[in-house]
Structure 1
Amino acid sequence: MAQHQLHDRVTCVAAPATWLSGPDGRMTGAADGLYVEDRRAVARLEVTIDGAAPALTGHRTGAASAVFAGVRDTRSRLAEPLGGTETVTLSNDADEPRSVVLAISAATDFATTGAIRDGRTGSTVDFEPDAGGTWWARSADGMAVRLDVTPPPDGPLRWAVTLEPGERCSVELRFTRTDVATIQRAKRFSTLRVAAADPRLDALVRTGVQDLDALRRTDGADVYYCAGSPWYLTLFGRDALWSARLGLPLGVDVAAGTLRALGARQGTTHDGDTEEEPGRVLHELRPPDAAHRLPPIYYGTVDATALFVCTLADAYRWGMRPDAVEALLPNVEAALEWLAGHEGFVAYRSTGTGLTHQGWKDSGDGVQFADGRIATGTLALCEVQGYAYQAAVRGADLLDAFGRTGGRRWRDWAADLAERFRAAFWCPGDYPAVAVTGGGERVDGVASNMGHLLGTGLLSAAESAAVAGWLDRLRSPFGLRTLAASSAGYDAGSYHAGSVWPHDTVIALLGLAREGHREEAAALVRALLGAAERFDFRLPELYGGDDDATPYPAACRPQAWAAAVGPALLTALLGLDVDVPAGRITFDPIAPSPVGAFRVRGLKVAGGELDVTVDASGAVTVHNGPVGIEFLLASGRPASIARAISGASGG
């Protein structure tokens, strides 16, 4: 089937709810509507004035809100976790009274996001009034949506209105899904902001922070980022962990909540249907009434388990409370045992009922040989070995820090993995294969996966330099191509075989910066800012990146790990190495700065907020920061302090 055209939709998000419509505000079919918990609560919402649809043009006013304005009339929209509101405002700027009939048509089809994505939807059901003055739509399986209308209509969602000169009036429609549990919004979020000579950085960070806020949802006392609107407004292990890691400049609360939410669901038994295994971290969680193709809780991911350990280690260094970290160490030990339980490398094989590929490139052609053949069978992905290496080393550090045994075992395991990786993965041409098959054949496609190895510790200095060189060849004007243009299967408009994914690019960028490849890192900063400008600074899940940043029709937008690019860029630009347990923050900024001079305020570390300036040459001045933290440059010298440091103490 043809893909849904989402790139031109006006999208308002308050996870797990999202509105989608065209620029004129109308919702008349396809993927448009209001979704709550993976079901469509409103499928059609049309407004007419004297029988004609008003000519409106819309734009977002925030991550959760939009306005659609015409010459005299407007529609304003707000997403809320269990639904949302639509407010129609009529105005009269003439010298004479204005009399009109306002009519609204509202219906739903209760369809799941999976069915809509596949083009399978049923007939619509109109909202009907009850005796209490509210309107309802109810499905046979128990889904219920309430519509509250203010002021009450004269007839079936119809108002006869007369406005005197200069007068205005509004009709508000509030849609609420009532058959699901109440969802509380986390009230406090980030004050992170940046002022740079290149204003595109400011805009990208601001939009990303707003979108991450909108994509947060609570799970009891815990909070995590839903993966993206509209298809993935739920918990995904890999996406949530990467988004939390990239978003650590916003604080550790989301990382801590994500880890607890995933730890509570960590595998404990063997289940062939869900692919659950002891110690394994889940891939995807869906409401039972909206599961699509996969079970409501599904564990078929090869990388989330290692990423769980890496994320906890990062969060600890950024200031996560020691008692909260210690509570998750049994999950770390179980995760490490799952990694070590693989024969040879950490690998996967399709069961035939779950996902074919279980890395982040999970499309059918996501793992390719250079000659265009699709890799099949048992596959060990290169980046997964990097995650596993880092998880073992950083997991060992955590165990040591809290007086638990096992540290030496996991460091030895990591060292052995690194040696076997060198022997098995490196291809002629001096680059790591995207994967190795169960039979030991190298899948020799030149792919962006190798960029995830940087910063994990798996690579030697020479190997890191070789990877940096290949990434420079993978770079398009707008980010890293997922597959080299020289590959037989290259397609810039594909999902994983040549497109650009912002999160993939920024992960490689962070690794380049950490390992001293400044020019290559700076080039990717400029590429991402160029792409962001073309997407109104709301980066989509993916796009084509050859001649221009070309929309991918069905890409999620916003997508959490794309939204986290802005905060992650600040980590890279500052060259931040945060180590709260050791009481220090080290700066090693990219110099010369690819964004000119910049100042970052509200970056959260150790319960305090960091305020720091970097000039165009890379000189660092700390204006404010958490108490009890030493600020150093990479050379080991103290950073310049503009004034006495004040702020909340760490912990």
Structure 2
Amino acid sequence: MTVKTPEATEATNTAAEAGLQPFLHDAIVTMRAPSFVVSRPDGRFGGGADGFFHGERRALSRLDITADGVPMAWVVGGLEGADRAVFRTILRGAAETTPDPAVVLTRHRHTEAGCFTDRIEVVNSGRIPAEFRLTVTAGTDLATTEQVKSGTHVADAEVTAGGSGALAWSDGTYTVCLAGTRPAIAGTTPGVLHYDLVLAPGERWETELVCTAEDAQGVPFPAPDAAAPAAWSRPELRSADRSLDRWLTQADADLDGLLLADPEHPADRFLAAGAPWFATLFGRDSLWAARMLLPLGTDLAASTLRVLARRQGRIDDPRTQEQPGKILHEVRRGGLRLDGGEIDLPPVYYGTIDATPLWLTLLHDAWRWGLPAEDVEALLPHAEAALAWLRDFGDADGDGFLEYVDTTGKGLANQGWKDSGDSVRFRDGGFAEAPVALCEVQAYAYEAARGGAALLRAFGRGGADEWEEWAERLKSRFRSAFWVEDARGAYPAIALDGAKRPVDSATSNIGHLLGTGLLDRAESELIAKRLTGPDFDSGFGLRTITSDFPRYNPTGYHLGSVWPHDTAIAVQGLARAGLGEAAGRLATGLIHAADGFDSRLPELFAGYGTDESRHPVPYPASCRPQAWAAASAIHVTGALLGLSANVPDGTVTVAAEVHPDFRPLRLSGLRVAGEPMEIDVAADGTPTVTAPSGITVRTV
């Protein structure tokens, strides 16, 4: 992810005044990509990042409802799934004859692609009439999401039309309309509508405020066809831990709201990375999210693979960092400028070291979950190009490791998933100099080469032996070059720097090595022991770096925070390595965190531990929802069940005994080879699997 991470800044009254990224931790976000609404907990748009966004623009930046002369007290508000929310406010003193509130205003919000509706309902439950003027105030700056994210002040647009119940704004190509279903009294101030209400006892008054946004240039990625079949099977979970059940339900709704379609082939869909800042195609994020959802079917994986294959690198372009066979990092219509222009990314940017091996691994894993042979075979030329990139471009200096360096001076300095400028550090706090070879990227490359070899052999294509040998050489070199020691013992460094020195800080990146095949049993156990120690395990998930690191910061983007997907990957890796106790411990912490965020885990949150706080502490600027944070619910559930598939061999594997905190358990909505599968786990831990015919169930 592209982020702005200043080391220090003066506190000021508003983010816009200082050019600071606005906070999101208390925002209510409803969405149907490529549109979403960000508001205060009471439903109003109150500045900062609040507003209605569509297609990388803020269509509406102000929407407030007041009752003239009547104090309003918000009492409750929150999500109803992913695209709906409800907010209730008491009009204090109106029609009151006792201390009991009498008049309540409720906003029922529904967000769709290109549109959102606030249904306003006012009910007088008092014993006397209520009479007051309801005022709606609206406005917009038509800012880009980049401007909003950077805290840049943009002047309000002028109202271009206003009448009975309708307002409009336009800059010539982008048009916004806010219309009410009841006639309104136009205010003397532009952008204001009035409704005079007289409510008898027991009377109800309603109107709908409908806001639409139209971009004459079109959006980079549209919403999928509403009539299209579901992109995955809907999971239904009932377990002894209802927190896990709630997390899975909310995650499923959020993921559905993040779906976008490929304009070149609308039947193909993928998951946008997150709202509000990353509602577009990101190679790494979309691949990880699709991989995590494989137990629910292979359709999303196949679509995601095809979307990225269509944009696979063909030429060597230093400006965009495109290279033949390479999978892209992100797509934005106007590119992206950050840090006063020090970072200036082109609209289609390939500056990532890990998306290409992750693409290969997703193809392999989708094949094992039953992706039809014809779909796999159609993608094999792209797989061969991706494998060639690992060898010919990913390893630029020929030392046998994948490394990155930004040669443009305007791109991302770090090009793994921890892509902030200060994320790759030595134990003493010093920065690694490029080119940088990240530890987890070597694990991805090993897994990709092995998986690629399996695909080539299965489909009768040459090169399988070569890639298996390449992977084994990488494995041997990794063991010699990356392992370091401190007082607690041996562990892999986060990276090698340009001088091939191990960058020896202890980071959560090592969790991504587990279960890839790069490590032996003893090495996996060393990592498991370290990850479950108190300096890594916050009790809510894994810190990105140990709490004893000299520059540790619990609210540091990659220097002490907790990323749910990062912990989920470690949980899955531990389970694959046969280290179920450690996997269960980390999974329990993450589920506890999900409960603290009303089942919608954010992109990241602060690294404060359960010994410091009863509740997880937000990272205030975090996106919420985020695709791979939501998909982690499936990844963690699958890990707890020890679930894996090998359809070419006709087998599905589950754990012989599920962690006691989650049983009894019943999970339906799983799909293997396109057919439904269910798992029931008894109170004693014994699983019963209803699998498709021709599939043999193994327990381990």
Residue 536 of structure 1: SS of its match in structure 2? coil
Q: Does 1:404 align with 2:461?
A: yes
Residue 661 of structure 2: SS of its match in structure 1? coil
**One-letter amino acid of the counterpart of residue 600, structure 1:** L
Q: Does 1:284 align with 2:327?
A: no
Q: Give 1:328's match in structure 2, choosing from 374, 379, 384.
A: 379
Distance 1:387 1:254 in 2: 21
- Offset at residue 83 of structure 1 (A): 2.7
Residue 288 of structure 1: SS of its match in structure 2? coil
Q: Does 1:59 align with 2:78?
A: yes
- Offset at residue 187 of structure 1 (A): 5.4
Q: Does 1:151 align with 2:182?
A: yes
Distance 1:148 1:499 in 2: 43
1:88 maps to which residue?
A: 120
1:44 maps to which residue?
A: 62
TM-score, normalised via structure 1 length? 0.93
2:3 maps to which residue?
A: none
Q: Give 1:487's match in structure 2, choosing from 528, 549, 563.
A: 549
**One-letter amino acid of the counterpart of residue 648, structure 2:** P
Q: Give 1:75's match in structure 2, choosing from 84, 107, 127.
A: 107
Distance 1:472 1:96 in 2: 62
Q: Does 1:163 align with 2:219?
A: no
Q: Does 1:442 align with 2:442?
A: no
Runs of 5+ unmatched residues, structure 2: 1-18, 91-103, 188-192, 339-343
- Which residues in structure 2 correspond to 1:553-592 (within 5 Å)? 553-588=620-655, 591-592=658-659
2:11 maps to which residue?
A: none
Residue 361 of structure 1: SS of its match in structure 2? coil
- Offset at residue 450 of structure 1 (A): 0.8
Conservation of the 8 A alpha-carbon contact between 1:518 and 1:590: no
Runs of 5+ unmatched residues, structure 1: 635-651
Q: Does 1:316 align with 2:385?
A: no
Distance 2:568 2:195 in 1: 52
Q: CA-to-partner distance for each residue in 1:229-252, whole Å, 9 max, x for gaps?
A: 111011111011111111222322
Q: Does 1:272 align with 2:291?
A: no
**One-letter amino acid of the counterpart of residue 630, structure 1:** T
Distance 2:71 2:323 in 1: 55
Conservation of the 8 A alpha-carbon contact between 1:38 and 1:290: no
TM-score, normalised via structure 2 length? 0.87
2:269 maps to which residue?
A: 223
Greater displacement, 154-163 / 275-284: 154-163
- Which residues in structure 2 correspond to 1:130-141 (within 5 Å)? 135-139=167-171
Distance 1:3 1:288 in 2: 19
Identity of aligned residues (%): 45
Greater displacement, 264-273 / 301-310: 264-273
**One-letter amino acid of the counterpart of residue 298, structure 1:** Y
Q: Give 2:691's match in structure 1, choosing from 620, 625, 628.
A: 625
Residue 524 of structure 1: SS of its match in structure 2? helix
2:599 maps to which residue?
A: 537
- Which residues in structure 2 correspond to 1:161-310 (within 5 Å)? 161-179=197-215, 180=218, 183=223, 184-185=225-226, 186=228, 188=230, 189-219=232-262, 220-288=266-334, 293-310=344-361
Residue 151 of structure 2: SS of its match in structure 1? coil
Conservation of the 8 A alpha-carbon contact between 1:379 and 1:436: yes
Q: Output the aligned Cα RMSD.
A: 1.9
- Offset at residue 584 of structure 1 (A): 1.6
With over 3 angstroms needed to count, the CA separation of the structure-2 counterparts of 1:294 and 1:53, relative to structure 1, is farther
- Offset at residue 127 of structure 1 (A): 4.1
Conservation of the 8 A alpha-carbon contact between 2:335 and 2:348: no
- Offset at residue 288 of structure 1 (A): 2.8
Q: Does 1:496 align with 2:496?
A: no
Distance 2:295 2:29 in 1: 25
Q: CA-to-partner distance for each residue in 1:531-562, whole Å, 9 max, x for gaps?
A: 11211111111112322321101011111111
1:25 maps to which residue?
A: 43
Residue 660 of structure 2: SS of its match in structure 1? coil
1:524 maps to which residue?
A: 586
1:645 maps to which residue?
A: none
Conservation of the 8 A alpha-carbon contact between 2:43 and 2:87: yes
- Offset at residue 51 of structure 1 (A): 5.4
**One-letter amino acid of the counterpart of residue 80, structure 2:** T
Conservation of the 8 A alpha-carbon contact between 1:522 and 1:590: no
2:477 maps to which residue?
A: 420
Q: Does 1:347 align with 2:403?
A: yes
Residue 328 of structure 1: SS of its match in structure 2? helix
- Offset at residue 35 of structure 1 (A): 0.8
Distance 2:553 2:335 in 1: 36
Residue 195 of structure 2: SS of its match in structure 1? strand
Conservation of the 8 A alpha-carbon contact between 1:127 and 1:147: no
**One-letter amino acid of the counterpart of residue 87, structure 1:** R
- Offset at residue 131 of structure 1 (A): 8.3
1:376 maps to which residue?
A: 433
2:416 maps to which residue?
A: 359
Greater displacement, 127-136 / 510-519: 127-136
Distance 1:406 1:611 in 2: 38
Greater displacement, 365-374 / 146-155: 146-155
Distance 1:103 1:592 in 2: 55
Distance 2:315 2:168 in 1: 43
Distance 1:152 1:336 in 2: 63
Residue 422 of structure 2: SS of its match in structure 1? coil
Residue 218 of structure 1: SS of its match in structure 2? strand
Conservation of the 8 A alpha-carbon contact between 2:132 and 2:197: yes
Q: Give 2:539's match in structure 1, choosing from 477, 483, 491.
A: 477
